[in-house]
Structure 1
Amino acid sequence: MAGKTGIPGTPGLLRRFDAMVLSRVNRWIARTHPGIVRGLRKARRRQTGKGRINIAVPRTVNEKFAWRKIFDHDPRFTVLSDKVACKDWVRRHFRDVRMPKTLWTGADASQIPWQAFNTPSVIKARHGCKMNIFLREPSADRDAIIAEANAFVGKRHGEKAHEWAYSDVPSGLIVEELLFAGDWCFDVKIYTFGREIGQVVPIYTRGDQRNAAMWLMEDDGVLRLSDEYTAVSDEIDQTPLPQHIDEMLAIASEIGAHFDHMRVDFLCNDTEFFLGELTVYNLSGKYSHHGFEEDYRDNRLWDIRRSRFLSQRQRGWRGIYQGALRRELDRIDAAGG
């Protein structure tokens, strides 16, 4: 017997109804997002030898990233993917967090003040990643730098990897002070799931040398150095965690409390630390290791029921899917899976 919503009222019928809905959503995903599906299947075969995936009911980190790209279009993700707007968001919510000083923002590098070219600084695309120019010392070839920076403005980031959050970020540039220029430093990436910390990846840079390690947070709250390599280097850096790691973890946890998952990045040395960026799609939306393991701790910590899509009412067929997915996730949780 169906209720007023048309959804079957008995547990057995409801479960069969949900299974039908979730199956149809998976078929819709395959038809409308074939690139995401092909990429995910290929990655799973490469990691596990198996190609089966289930984005409609994501059970692994990599499936959850794919689900986030397709369904969880949280408007805050666009704000945080914008290097200019992200700083404003952090200042509104966390006034005491230090960030690199902004020297200039705009869309034409020829307007960058001369002072920025004569002090340690970094020119970045505000609308994407891996588009940076580091000015560690004064450069005489200003025209070449301007041309390279303006080329960033014409590039769109995120389309190939289906990173939705970048789609509405204005193209442009931001110039920041270059921290720890000429000195060693850590780029510390902290993976948060709500307030919980999953892992920490400190990238240690000295000159042209760049090594990293993976530290896993145990259930007892202790970070343990993993014996696995990161995607950054082919050796495990044995440098101890930076002095201010506890303060960075506390800030990351406070920021993470606003989301179901967020990577919080810091820059630091032995004396001070700064918040660098917030990252919505780690490595364009994947884990290099354990991304398809359901029992991996980060996967268990990532509860998409805290996502914007599942915490706010959806309409139409998405509302029907939202209800079916929530009930299925509740069943999996109740079964200990």
Structure 2
Amino acid sequence: MPAPLTGVLPPPLLRTVRYRQATGHLPPLRRPRTFSEKLNWRITLDRRELLAPTCDKLAMKEHARALAPGLVRVPETLWSGTDVGELADVGLPGAWVLKPNHSCIRRLFGRGPADVAELRRRTAGWVGEQYWRRSGEWAYRRARPCLLVEEHVGDPGTVPADLKVLVVGGAPRLVERHTGRDGDHGVRLWSPQWAPLPWTLGRRPGPDAAPPERLDDLIAAATALAGPFDMMRVDFYDVGGELWFGELTPYPGAGLSPLEPDLDAWLGGAWTLPPLRRTRR
């Protein structure tokens, strides 16, 4: 998608173009059936206030503290704001992560005191970025535009394995285990009881793995945190037997990442969308 079109096309039309580029056909908004089709319907049409805070990282950390106490640890927020110059006066630990509150993918790892000049250079444009315009993911538009620094989870400078629980219709349907996010990305899928599933979301298969030490807590936490929603993916890290909250993901893969057809159909059949009349703000 050429950059000028992102700012010129209205969001619904831009979304249609992006969907067609990814799938080769127009989105069936009247009668979506598969998970991918229903996810695109959510992105295009669903404007419920229920979804509004779900891409605000700071808000979802509070959501996790409120709904899953005792089940997960929430990384401590060490600073949040719009001017990294303030970090000169913040006592930072030996390992930390800086990321935008209102977008994804971007992150910087740091150690010890902040190099403000370097951070200004590397985060230039992050606060003002309208990330939601890329793929029309509306909830990112409602997130507060700022940066945050939080404690690092796992070994300094590395990204631990992700455990992502997809909850559809109030029930956990599968667990995604992502490895090599900072290099050779691999994926394995498991049932909530940790039986292997035959899909990899189009990625290379990740390594085999024993069940998480706190599998029951993982499933319970995901169920609690996704409880208010008809579909939500809840992301965690499992580090040394500790279960850490990552984020809520209302739009997995921006609705543009192809799933295996049988997986797409199965998950779509489990997801009942709200009536259109209830999706307006």
Normalised-by-shorter TM-score class: 0.7 to 0.9
The one of 164, 187, 203 aligned to 2:178: 203
Counterpart of 2:163 (choices 178, 188, 191) is: 188
Counting aligned pairs with the same residue, the percent is 25
**1:137-185 alpha-carbon deviations (Å, 9 max, x no partner):** 3477441123323431121112120111111222101110001124783
**Which of 211, 223, 242 pairs up with 2:212?**
242
TM-score (norm 2): 0.83
Greater per-residue helix proportion:
1
- Say which SS state the counterpart of residue 214 (structure 1) adopts: strand
Q: 1:212 to 1:52 in 2, by over 3 A?
A: same
CA contact (8 A) 2:36 2:258 kept: no
Q: Which moved more, 1:159-168 or 1:34-43?
A: 34-43
CA drift at 1:237: 1.6
Figure out how many residues of one structure are paired with residues of the other and give that number. 269
* Contact 2:174–2:190 under 8 Å retained in 1: yes
Give, in whole Å, the separation in 1 of the partners of 2:183 and 2:18: 32
With over 3 angstroms needed to count, the CA separation of the structure-2 counterparts of 1:70 and 1:184, relative to structure 1, is: closer
Choose 192-201 or 159-168, whichever is displaced more.
192-201
**Alignment match, 1:35:** 14
Aligned CA RMSD, in angstroms, stands at 2.9
Partner of 2:225, secondary structure, is helix
User: Do the aligned residues in 1 keep the contact of 2:188 with 2:208 (CA within 8 Å)?
Assistant: no
- Mark the runs of 5 or more structure 1 residues left unpaired by the alignment: 1-30, 46-50, 316-337
Give TM-score scaled by structure 1 length. 0.71
Following the alignment from structure 1 to structure 2, what is the Cα–Cα distance between the partners of residues 225 and 110? 47
1:115 aligns with 2:91: yes
Secondary structure of the corresponding residue to residue 158 of structure 1: helix
C-alpha contact (below 8 Å) 2:189/2:199 kept by paired residues? no
Identify if the C-alpha distance between structure 1 residues 104 and 44 changes in structure 2 by more than 3 Å, giving closer, same or farther: same
2:265 to 296, 302, 317: 296
For 1:39 and 1:77, locate their aligned partners in 2 and report how far apart those are by CA, in whole Å: 22
* The structure with more radius of gyration: 1
Q: Which AA in structure 2 matches 1:61? A: F
